[in-house]
Amino acid sequence: MLPKNMSMNTTTFDAVLTSAARLSDEEQQLLAELLRKRQIEKWRAETAVEARRAAKAFRSGKLKAQSVDVAINELRASLKEED
């Protein structure tokens, strides 16, 4: 089932799944591995962009240095707010 916020056309997604099902087991494993690697690379690129933004904000004084304990407590508090 597709997530509600997924923008891909369901028909296109179904066609991709149907095409993938026609591949041999080895090809399906290769496809899954390639998709996983692409997702990892995308995540790495997004993380790098966010790290550059954070470093720039820190250098400009928008972010202040804090102890690990304070950072962890703030993170926990923000996660509780999301629940």
Domain ranges of the chain: 24-82
The two three-digit tokens of residue 9, written as one number: 């056309």
- Contact status, residue 29 vs residue 37, Cβ threshold 8 Å: no
Q: Using the predicted structure, report yes or no on whether residue 3 has a pLDDT greater than 70.
A: no
Band the pLDDT of 64: cuts 50, 70, 90.
Answer: confident
Say which residues have a Cβ less than 8 Å from residue 8's Cβ, sequence separation at least 6: 2
| pLDDT for res 10 | 86
Band the pLDDT of 5: cuts 50, 70, 90.
Answer: low
Band the pLDDT of 11: cuts 50, 70, 90.
Answer: confident
Q: Using the predicted structure, report yes or no on whether residue 24 has a pLDDT greater than 70.
A: yes
Total-model pTM: 0.64
| pLDDT for res 4 | 60
